[in-house]
Amino acid sequence: MHVLVTGGAGYIGSHAALLLLEAGHRVSVFDNLSNSSPEALKRVHQMSGSAPELFVGDLLDADRVTEVLEITKPDAVIHFGGLKAVGESVEKPITYYQNNVVGTLNLITAMESAQVKRLVFSSSATVYAESKELPLVENAQRDASNPYGRTKLHIEQILEDLAVSDPQWSIAILRYFNPVGAHPSGNIGEDPQGIPNNLMPFIAQVAVGRRNEVRVFGTDYPTYDGTGVRDYIHVMDLAQGHLDALGYLNQNTGQYVWNLGTGSGTSVLDVIGAFSRACGRQLPYELVDRRPGDIAEYYGDPTTARLELGWKAERGIEEMARDMWKWQSNNPSGYPDYDLEGIPEDELNKFIRGARESLPETK
């Protein structure tokens, strides 16, 4: 298959691109590189032996999206492209609605005119309303609590309406729980800009000496040790879920929703413990007040994905910490910071393919 991957240079997208190439698919990536680096795609090429082709473009540029769909004529699209920082979405709601909702509208409009009607969409467990009934199942009540989550909710509804309007569409909505970890080689991984908001990347930066200590937000939650509990999912398992969903969409039209999680929760203290074992020293932490807006505990029920896709998370918290540590210790400052200003797309593709040795660095 030929798969167009929006946001394919990013954290989850680069892992999915790798698995697609390793499975023999052809991969085109559409990305504006606003939160990612061509270095990730170069490494994907080095690891898989096949190069993804990069189309630099913005989902908000409708003409460019249409053009890339027409040039590539893919069999399917996996849509990772979007902004994902909850705090930033509270400060800049219009930017988030534009980028995520309008960007998706541009994508599906272009897909429709190119007669490409197979789509896998990155949704999130954040679309679930807070519930005491755990694990969360796909038909649980939805109600996002911040603008980022609401963009995902709106997109889910748009995709549902689309599937009802035209039965030729095949659409998978994948609700991720908390993606962490990295490829076990440590060659690709998550490269957050600035101070990480999420727990695991923050711990990784403490482990590598970039930050002093982890702050544990809240110790009085009604959970097994008083700290927040989440369903962490290894990015390699998550990436595999996209391939399985694509396989399903090849056989079925309509719209489907699948939770991608492990089905069980891990506390903040247990994540710190796993990472301490992975890096070989007890990581320092401080117990502080709850973070406003956080909920005590949630984890998903992945049974539907297991029954319908044959997908199941294979890796536990120890492997998540081990692989994250491998990535962080091999790449203490993340990917090199390239100055991409004015570098044409074909030069970036030469770099990804190894035909051009380097790109100018800013640091």
Tell me which residues touch ligand NAD (CB under 6 A).
7, 9-13, 31-36, 58-60, 80-84, 99, 103, 122, 124, 176, 179
Pick between residue 105 and residue 296 the one whose CB is nearest to ligand NAD: 105
Task: Give min distance, CB of 279 to ligand UDP, in A.
Answer: 17
Q: What is the dihedral of CA 103, 107, 113, 117, to 10 degrees?
A: -150
Query: From ligand NAD, ligand UDP, none, which one binds at residue 232 (CB under 5 to 8 Å depending on kind)?
Result: none
Residue least distant from ligand NAD (Cβ) = 10
Interface residues for ligand UDP in 150-189 (CB under 6 A)?
A: 178
Please give the C-alpha separations between residue 58 and each of 79, 87, 106, 148, in angstroms, as whole numbers: 13, 22, 10, 19
Interface residues for ligand UDP in 277-336 (CB under 6 A)?
A: 291, 294
Q: Is 145 in the site for ligand UDP (CB under 6 A)?
A: no
Q: Is 64 in the site for ligand UDP (CB under 6 A)?
A: no
Q: Which two tokens stand for residue 8?
A: 């394919």
Q: Is 269 in the site for ligand UDP (CB under 6 A)?
A: no
- CA angle 222-226-231, nearest 5°? 85
60 contact partners, CB below 8 Å, separation of at least 6: 98, 99, 102, 103, 106
77, β-bridge pairs? 4, 119
Q: Is 225 in the site for ligand UDP (CB under 6 A)?
A: no
Nearest residue to 340 (alpha-carbon basis) of 39, 103, 65: 39
Pick between residue 5 and residue 268 the one whose CB is nearest to ligand UDP: 268
Q: Is 223 in the site for ligand UDP (CB under 6 A)?
A: no
Pick between residue 186 and residue 218 the one whose CB is nearest to ligand UDP: 218
Q: 79: alpha, beta or left, given left = phi > 0 and alpha = psi -120 to 50?
A: beta
Please give the C-alpha separations between residue 60 and each of 53, 77, 82, 97, in angstroms, as whole numbers: 20, 17, 11, 11
Query: From ligand NAD, ligand UDP, none, which one binds at residue 176 (CB under 5 to 8 Å depending on kind)?
Result: ligand NAD
Q: Is 243 in the site for ligand UDP (CB under 6 A)?
A: no
DSSP for residue 51: P
Query: From ligand NAD, ligand UDP, none, which one binds at residue 81 (CB under 5 to 8 Å depending on kind)?
Result: ligand NAD
Task: Give min distance, CB of 187 to ligand UDP, in A.
Answer: 23
Beta strands in 44-202 (DSSP E): 53-56, 76-79, 118-124, 170-176, 178-180
Pick between residue 185 and residue 219 the one whose CB is nearest to ligand NAD: 185
148 catalytic residue (yes or no):
yes
Q: 73: alpha, beta or left, given left = phi > 0 and alpha = psi -120 to 50?
A: left
Pick between residue 103 and residue 149 the one whose CB is nearest to ligand UDP: 149
Catalytic position from the list 11, 96, 148, 338: 148
Task: Give min distance, CB of 315 to ligand NAD, in A.
Answer: 16
- Three-state secondary structure of 220-273: CCCCCCCCCEECEEEHHHHHHHHHHHHHHHHHCCEEEEEEECCCCCEEHHHHHH
Catalytic (active-site) positions: 148
* Contact positions vs ligand UDP (CB under 6 A): 178, 197-199, 202, 214-217, 228, 230, 268, 291, 294
